[in-house]
A and B are shown apart, each in its own frame.
Chain A
Amino acid sequence: MMSLTRRRLLHATLGAAVLPAAGAPQARPLIDVNVSLGHWPYRRLPLDEPAALAARLVALGFDEAWAGSFEGLLHRDLASVNARLAAACRPLDGLRLRAFGSVNPLLPDWAEDLRRCAIEHRMPGIRLHPNHHGYNLTHPSFAPLLHLAAEFGLIVQLVVSTEDTRTQHPLTRVADVDLRPLPDLLRQEPESRVLLLNHRPQALPPEMAGLPNLFFDIARTEGTDGVARLVSLAGPERVLFGSHAPFLIPEAALIRVEEGLLAGLPEEAADSLLFTNARRLLHA
């Protein structure tokens, strides 16, 4: 349970009205599969210090978050980015941070970055930024990367978008990742586990909906029925909670799950999304 000192601090920051009551029942802790450490390259964010982010997530009932690094977007010395990330991912204020290092298959010796993530840092997965790194999923290195990640047993977080294309900095505009090649790749690599982050599925093609090794977060799933619709298309076991904090406020995605209940999302499916699916994916 949150300490009184921290609760007072959060009351001062958030206002008493929006905090859960002290001691509010929280049957099981939540996992956020989509947070980032480091500084967003284009502005400071209210929760961009790890301690502030951890305090907020713990106050919301999380005990674990899967963290990438904003440095992974633009840095080319990804080995040092990932080493810093691994060092930063220590238990913080009651929050367990699991590091997901960045790998860029266009960089020479990318396989070594991946190996270090798996072996030296013992990360559970890696995070890919195809749009910021400038490749599409048909690039000759992408399938080998998926294969190697599967061999190491790594979850692959594939960031479909980091920011709305309409609001990006004009000098670093990138389109959302084109996912059309993914179904074939995942069928060829059935041991791989790919988790799409920040995907905005207006409609999910049947070939993506039916892939058992493809997972989705809800950080940018919009509309009052967006979460309910995604779960109905993808299946209740393949949608995970991700917030894209601190770029987005973490409460937004959490409230969206409650909206899903009002839109017909079964309670058991919400329960899987919030509590079960991330653990199942981690230990698959």
Chain B
Amino acid sequence: MPAAPPAWSPLPPSGVLARYEIWDSYLTQERGAATVPTIEALLPLVERAALKKLCYFADVGLGTASPAIEAWVSTHPDQIDEPLRRWPELMLGMIQLNARDVPRSLVALDRWLRDGPMVGVYFPGSAPAGLPCTHPDVARLVERVAELGGSIMMHTWYKTGEAGPPHGSTPSDLAELAARFPGQTFICAHAGGNWELGLRAVHELPNVVVETSGFDATAGFLEMAVRELGAERVVFGSHLPSRSLGTELGKILFAGLDENQKRLVLGGNFRRLLRRA
């Protein structure tokens, strides 16, 4: 049993948080050999925050990680889904795709998504595998993911001063892609970082939901997201351990939402999305 929370902490007791049935759509654990140890190190915090599910993004040997991690994955393929075996009640997994290598990504989709146990895919937003999602090769992979009924997490950022990340996508890019696949739901990771822009960019696309992590606990974000998209189109991500629970869970718990809206954001929407997928 966790110790009683300090009197000064605004984080509700675990028993209260458990009522939200929190599912985390975005974990950023260390990769390769460090994946299992970093998840293990998070467990006390996971218990304290009553996180019911954590979704990690596995490198499966497609060139999505550093050479050292790729080498480790190639010699330890049995470790790719080890988190799912070790913590079957806690972990969900998506595979990282490399749109710069479509043939091998298609094979990996069959191996990990069609045959399980992964529930979706993650398109990274940085080198070496990131590619703007307006590129035709991304659409080729999306078509296959849609056939297989997988979920899609798309890394997005609008960075001030950059026209668009050279290896990644903006929410405007995602809106363009999503318009071509109206039957597929896309998760707009980080709401574009510059969320005032990101929310506007995806506003008209009902098949795009936004994920909440990856930027400071800026006040007003959730209120605008729910106002513009509706609470049904916002999913919680923790970005643990590189971000803090205070920042990421705090954004939702202490925003001006009602309890039903918080339940949707903290888990209900992600569960519905995965069921639909």
Chain A: interface size category:
35 or more
Chain A residues positioned under 8 Å from B12 (CB to CB)? 17-18
- In the complex, A168 Cα to B197 Cα: how many Å? 12
The answer to whether residues A44 and B10 also contact, given A13-B256, A224-B241 and a CB cut-off of 8 A, is no
Q: Are B246 and A164 in contact (CB under 8 A)?
A: no
For window 16-58 of A, CB contacts with B under 8 Å fall at 16-18, 20, 24-27, 30, 43-47
> Contacts of B5 on A, CB cut-off 8 Å?
258
Cα A89 to Cα B199 with chains together (Å): 36
Task: Tell me, in angstroms, the Cα distance from A216 to B9 when the chains sit together.
Answer: 20
B247 surroundings in chain A (CB, below 8 A)? 222, 252, 256
Closest chain B CB from A253 CB (angstroms) = 6
Given the known A-B contacts A254-B10, A258-B11, are A223 and B241 also in contact in the complex, defined by CB atoms under 8 Å? yes
Give the shortest distance, in Å, between B2 (CB) and chain A (any CB): 9
When the two chains form the complex, which single residue of A18, A47, A166 contacts B157, counting CB atoms closer than 8 Å?
A166
Are A254 and B246 neighbours in the complex by a CB distance under 8 Å?
A: yes
Assess whether A223 is in contact with B160, with CB atoms less than 8 Å apart.
no
Task: Tell me whether A224 and B245 are in contact (CB under 8 A).
Answer: yes
Give every chain B residue within 8 A of A13 (Cβ-Cβ).
256
**Which of A26, A45, A253 makes the CB contact (< 8 A) with B246?**
A253
**B193 and A222 within 8 A (CB):** no
Q: How far is the CB of A175 from chain B (nearest CB, A)?
A: 11
- State whether the Cβ of B272 lies closer than 8 Å to any Cβ in chain A: no
* A204 interface hit (Cβ, 8 Å): no
Write the B155-166 contact mask toward A (1 if CB under 8 angstroms, else 0). 001011100000
B8 touches A254 (CB 8 A): yes
| Shortest Cβ gap from B95 to chain A (Å) | 25
Whether A226 sits at the interface, judged by CB under 8 Å, is yes
Give per-residue flags for B203-231: 1 if the beta carbon is below 8 A from chain A beta carbons, else 0: 00000000000011111100100000000
Contacts of A220 in B (CB 8 A): 216
Instruction: Please state if A247 and B219 are interface contacts (CB–CB under 8 Å).
Output: yes
| A249-B244 contact given A61-B8, A166-B193, CB 8 Å threshold | no
Whole-angstrom CA separation of A17 from B45 in the bound complex = 19
State in angstroms the CA–CA spacing of A12 and B267 once bound together. Answer: 22
User: A20–B10 Cα gap in the complex (Å)?
Assistant: 7
B92 to chain A, nearest CB (A): 20
C-alpha gap A14/B259 in the complex (Å): 9
A169 near B: Cβ within 8 Å?
A: yes
Task: Mark A1-19 against chain B: 1 for CB-CB distance below 8 A, else 0.
Answer: 0000000000001111110
List CB contacts (< 8 Å) of B16-44 with chain A. 16, 19, 42, 44
A251 to B5, CA, bound (A): 14
Q: Is there an interface contact between B219 and A255, defined as CB atoms closer than 8 Å?
A: no
A24 to B8 CA separation, bound complex (whole angstroms): 9
Closest A-B pairs by Cβ, 10 of them: A255-B246, A252-B217, A256-B246, A252-B250, A224-B241, A258-B9, A252-B246, A251-B10, A166-B159, A251-B254
List residues of chain A with CB under 8 Å of any chain B CB: 13-18, 20, 24-27, 30, 43-47, 60-61, 163-170, 173, 220-226, 245-249, 251-259, 261-262, 270, 274
7 contacting pairs across A/B (C-beta < 8 A): A15-B257, A26-B8, A166-B194, A167-B160, A223-B244, A224-B245, A249-B255
